[in-house]
Amino acid sequence: MDISILERLSEQWAVLLVILERLVVQRQIVALVLLALGAETIARLLSPLLGKVSGADRQKNGQCSLSGTLTRWLHALEHIWSPILAVGIGQAIIALFKHYNWSAGLLREGLIFFWLLLSYRLVVVLLYAWRDEEEAKEAHRRVLGPLFFFLLILGLQRAIVGIIDISGAQPFSFSGNRISIGALYRAAFVLYAVLAGGWLVQHILTKYLLPGTNADPGMASTVHTISRYVIISAGILATLSSLGIDLSSLAIIGAGLSVGIGFGLQELVANFISGILLLFEQSIRPGDVIEVNNKVGRVEKLRIRSTTVRMNDNVEIIVPNQALLSSSVTTYTRSDRSVRIHSVRIPVGVSYNSDPVEVRQILLGAAHRHGLVRADPAPLVFFEGYGDSSVDFSLMIWIDDFMIMRRVASDLRFIIWEELAKRKIEIPFPQRDVHLRSGIPWEKILQEKRDAE
């Protein structure tokens, strides 16, 4: 940091100490501290009373007689009691100061922060009351929390301007440009505005607009991923531009780095390009069932660098995009989302004394009894052939969710076993007939064995 900035801060700190020595300032600071502590204390005392009201109401009828919405508002009121009380008591203190002809300018400035806190908490309460918890948390983290922080910094700067002003200080430089603290604040706000606005657009698009149009999940994922990277890139460029940095100089630097990137990060660049091609080509889409490393799994997320595939045992595999693009990939849902469980084929072997038509009816009946087996396409029974000790059949079914494939196959085996036992149809085990050739002196061989022992 430049020594002139330290000197400037030292001078402004000395001015601040002089101002704090004034009785009129000390009186207002004490009033603000007591206001904050008093409002918080009263809010904590009132909070259990709200809980008792709703609890007594539940005990009255065995359940909460108030509507669910009203009950949520009672609990939400606990979070806004403190700023409400601070604003009310603050107005009363300002009126008291006016009565005694005391200066209350600092009190009015301090009261702005309580109004800001009240507005922030009220918006958060409305958000959690109207939207589900996960969606509200995401909006709170991405939009409301950072916005409150920026407004708080802006309010502090407005309150202390003329006393301590460091926004014009220029502690950093880039490409010959001096960057002030105020410019950093504006750049950070621009980046926040672009990212927060982009997230809102993405959220509305993917959760409300695209589902209403019955768009393909792969297309929705492509739009979401590409728009995210475009928004991030636009935010970075807008931030650099707000700092007064010449973007053409960055282009020259990027051209020089591209050679090193091409040699040192070949795999990363190849995966990046492969991810873009997969997104646009949509040969593999989120929700597709593919075979990776001789294992069948579902594509969960398709990112720029890698793809996440979840196996039916709930294990996730991270596959580089280059591997998906440069090698053969077996996909079971490219044109049809239904998945045939041929990899968990249900073979059934019955005795040669059984009626094949009856066995076929039993297998089809077992498939129709299971609620997770699709009626369209209909289950099929194949007569596989004549085995050494059994007549072999196989049941083929289709299901909607590949993740429950093993459970459905296990359920069907239980049902088939039960039905075959009811019809007294035997499931034979492998048998072998051993024929002993004549002319071999078995007695002599056994006698020699006993003599050896």
Q: Please give the residue that has the higher pLDDT: either 224 or 165.
A: 224
How many CB atoms neighbour CB 387 within 10 A? 14
Residue 80 token pair: 């806004």
Residue 159 token pair: 């309150």
How many CB atoms neighbour CB 390 within 10 A? 21
Q: Bin 54: left if φ > 0, else alpha if -120 < ψ < 50, else beta.
A: alpha
Phi, psi at 349, each rounded to 5°: -115, 130
H or E, element range at 48: helix 23-61
DSSP class per residue in 362-418: HHHHHHHHSTTB-SSSPPEEEEEEE-SSSEEEEEE-EES-GGGHHHHHHHHHHHHHH
**74-83, 281-290, 314-323: which range is least confident on average?**
74-83
Nearest by Cα to 340 from 384, 294, 374, 308 = 374
Tens of pLDDT, residues 210-251: 666 665 555 666 666 777 777 777 877 777 777 777 666 555
430: helix, strand or coil: coil
Mean pLDDT of 344-366: 89
**Whether residue 355 has pLDDT greater than 60:** yes
Q: Please give the residue that has the higher pLDDT: either 390 or 331.
A: 390
Its CATH class, for the domain covering 265-331, is mainly beta
Beta carbons of 304 and 233 less than 8 angstroms apart = no
Task: Give the predicted TM-score (pTM) of the model.
Answer: 0.53
Q: How far apart are the first and last CA of the chain?
A: 97
The share of the chain scoring above pLDDT 70, in percent, equals: 70
Residue keyed to tokens 């499931």: 427
Edge to edge, the sheet with strand 330-331 lists 316-320, 306-311, 295-302, 289-292, 330-331
**19-33, 87-101, 114-128, 413-427: which range is least confident on average?**
19-33
Q: Where are the domains of the chain?
A: 1-166, 170-264, 265-331, 339-422
Nearest by Cα to 142 from 201, 83, 72 = 201
Buried b (16+ CB within 10 A) or exposed e, 118-139: bebbebbbebbeeeeeeebeeb
Burial class (CB in 10 A: 0-12, 13-18, 19+), 274: buried
Q: Which fold has domain 339-422?
A: Alpha-Beta Plaits (3.30.70)
Residue 188 token pair: 């950070």
Residue 314 token pair: 């709930």
- Give the sign of the dihedral formed by CA 216, CA 217, CA 221, CA 227: positive
What's the CA gap between 362 and 428, in Å, rounded? 17
How many CB atoms neighbour CB 103 within 10 A? 13
Same fold flag, 265-331 and 339-422: no
**Whether residue 414 has pLDDT greater than 90:** yes
Beta carbons of 362 and 350 less than 8 angstroms apart = no
Tens of pLDDT, residues 27-78: 888 888 888 888 888 877 776 665 555 454 444 444 444 455 555 565 666 6
Tens of pLDDT, residues 332-350: 766 655 554 444 678 999 9
Beta carbons of 237 and 251 less than 8 angstroms apart = no
Compute the mean pLDDT over every residue in the chain, rounded to the nearest whole number.
76
Angstrom distances, CA of residue 64 to CA of 54, 85, 154, 308, 336: 7, 28, 44, 45, 48
Beta carbons of 308 and 318 less than 8 angstroms apart = yes
**Whether residue 165 has pLDDT greater than 90:** no
Residue keyed to tokens 């430049």: 2
Mean pLDDT of 18-25: 75
The share of the chain scoring above pLDDT 90, in percent, equals: 8
Residue 359 token pair: 């066995």
